[in-house]
């Protein structure tokens, strides 16, 4: 029956629920995001059973909590644990000011599929990956998911559909078209800027640009995104042909709010990679299959990829796009981005 939501559609609802502060049912567990939880909902969840706080292994490492499940830790709540305590475990902003939150006891053994699904959902909703999970039947009206299939679906590539396209003359290239793509799972829209009329049977000059509101729009000096965006468009304009994908994966996939949390940690002395880890994220949470899918949808099978990031090259190749050529995209350093560029070169393997 086509009017019943599909698994992908139900996941989209679950994302929206978590962002609103509503718990979702994952099999026989209820899961709520600590970031959006209210005192009333915390009290009601506690009344249903014995909740644990699911954290990523990254966050657990900073908190010195044992992650018995590898990339996941389940912190046991003490009787006096309140929302402020949970928030302090979820959000590293106050780690240096109030370092002693523990010692934290963590659970071992048992099935953690629901906890893993809960953390994957939090990340895909661009919330802090800290989820309160309690074994309890779902009250009427909550979104329900089977945790195993939900996890598998989250790892599945959403089909991207072209929605609209129009001519858009740019300063760097007058003959340009902007295409808008929409995934079938209610996720973010992404854009392709096609410059000139690149032939489909030859490698196209291409850039996979990840959204950076601060760099692209505001001209932030902290990163190299704005100048890279302009330089890529200028090079394509000069060459007379190219394709720039503008992927809405702000902050390497963690979203602008979490990126600002990461910047706050960077102001406390951590580098860009450490900041992501302290928040509970991997250094790069982007899904590069989207870029490959868009290139394919536009008819391109081979690219001359403008990037300094060898991972992007490897990801394109792994997802069926040939990369016969890598074109470096070096932009000027300034006192604010020097540390960031050094970390990308030193820790993330960028060729700068």
**Is position 94 annotated in a ligand binding site?**
no
Identified binder of ligand GTP from the candidate list 73, 173, 249, 265, rule CB under 6 A: 249
Restricting to residues 206-235, which ones interact with Zn ion according to CB under 5 A? 212, 215, 223, 225
Identified binder of ligand GTP from the candidate list 25, 33, 118, 223, rule CB under 6 A: 223
Residue with tokens 């190299």: 224
Cβ nearer to ligand GTP, comparing 115 with 209: 209
Lateral strand order in the sheet of 176-183: 160-167, 176-183, 190-195, 242-247, 204-210, 302-306, 322-327
264: annotated active-site residue:
no
Restricting to residues 256-315, which ones interact with Zn ion according to CB under 5 A? none
Q: How far is the CB of 300 from ligand GTP (least distance, A)?
A: 17
* Residue 178: cis peptide before it, omega within 30 degrees of 0: no
Helix (H/G/I), strand (E/B), else coil: 159? coil
220 to 244, 314, 336: CA distances (angstroms): 21, 29, 9
Q: Is residue 153 near ligand GTP by the rule CB under 6 A?
A: no
- Please state, in angstroms and rounded to a whole number, the distance separating the CA atoms of residues 13 and 156: 17
> Which run of H or E residues covers position 341?
helix 338-347
252 to 158, 182, 256, 272, 314: CA distances (angstroms): 18, 19, 10, 11, 17
Q: Is residue 194 near ligand GTP by the rule CB under 6 A?
A: no
Q: How far is the CB of 179 from ligand GTP (least distance, A)?
A: 19
Closest CA to 27 of 121, 158, 128: 121
- Please state, in angstroms and rounded to a whole number, the distance separating the CA atoms of residues 73 and 264: 25
> Which run of H or E residues covers position 55?
strand 52-56
108: annotated active-site residue:
no
Q: Is residue 58 near ligand GTP by the rule CB under 6 A?
A: no
Q: How far is the CB of 303 from ligand GTP (least distance, A)?
A: 12
Q: Is residue 250 near ligand GTP by the rule CB under 6 A?
A: yes
Q: Summarize as ranges the residues that interact with ligand GTP (CB under 6 A).
A: 209-212, 223, 225, 228, 249-252, 254, 259, 262, 272, 276, 307-309, 312, 329, 344, 350
Binding residues for Zn ion (CB under 5 A): 212, 215, 223, 225
- Extract the annotated binding site for Zn(2+): 212, 223, 225
Residues making up the annotated binding site are 207-212, 223, 225, 228, 250-252, 272, 307, 312
Query: Which positions are catalytic?
Result: 284, 286
């Amino acid at each position: 029956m086509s009017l019943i939501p599909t698994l992908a559609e139900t996941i989209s609802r679950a994302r929206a629920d978590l962002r609103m502060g509503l718990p979702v049912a994952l099999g026989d567990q209820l899961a709520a995001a600590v970031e959006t939880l209210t005192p009333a909902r915390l009290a009601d969840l506690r009344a249903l059973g014995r909740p644990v706080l699911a954290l990523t292994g990254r966050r657990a490492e900073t908190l010195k909590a044992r992650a018995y499940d590898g990339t996941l830790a389940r912190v046991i709540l003490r009787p006096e644990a309140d929302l402020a305590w949970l928030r302090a475990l979820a959000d590293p902003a106050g780690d240096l000011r109030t370092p002693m939150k523990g010692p934290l006891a963590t659970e071992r053994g048992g099935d953690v599929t629901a906890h893993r699904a809960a953390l994957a959902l939090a990340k895909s909703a661009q919330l802090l990956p800290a989820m309160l999970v309690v074994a309890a039947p779902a009250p009427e009206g909550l979104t329900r998911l089977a945790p195993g299939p939900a996890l598998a679906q989250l790892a599945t590539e959403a089909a991207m559909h072209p929605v609209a396209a129009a001519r858009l003359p740019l300063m760097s290239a007058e003959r340009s078209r902007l295409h808008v793509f929409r995934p079938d799972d209610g996720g973010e829209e992404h854009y392709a800027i096609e410059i000139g009329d690149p032939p489909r049977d030859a490698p196209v000059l291409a850039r996979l640009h990840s959204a950076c509101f601060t760099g692209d729009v505001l001209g932030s000096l902290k990163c190299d995104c704005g100048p890279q965006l302009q330089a890529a468009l200028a090079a394509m304009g000069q060459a007379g042909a190219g394709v720039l994908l503008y992927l809405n994966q702000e902050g390497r996939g963690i979203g602008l709010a979490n990126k600002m949390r990461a910047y706050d940690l960077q102001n406390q002395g951590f580098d860009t990679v450490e900041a992501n880890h302290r928040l509970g994220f991997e250094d790069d949470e982007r899904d590069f299959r989207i870029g490959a899918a868009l290139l394919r949808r536009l008819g391109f099978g081979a690219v001359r990829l403008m990037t300094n990031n060898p991972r992007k090259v490897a990801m394109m190749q792994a997802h069926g796009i040939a990369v016969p050529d890598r074109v470096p995209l070096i932009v000027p350093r300034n006192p604010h981005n020097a540390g960031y560029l050094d970390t990308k070169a030193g820790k993330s393997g960028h060729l700068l």
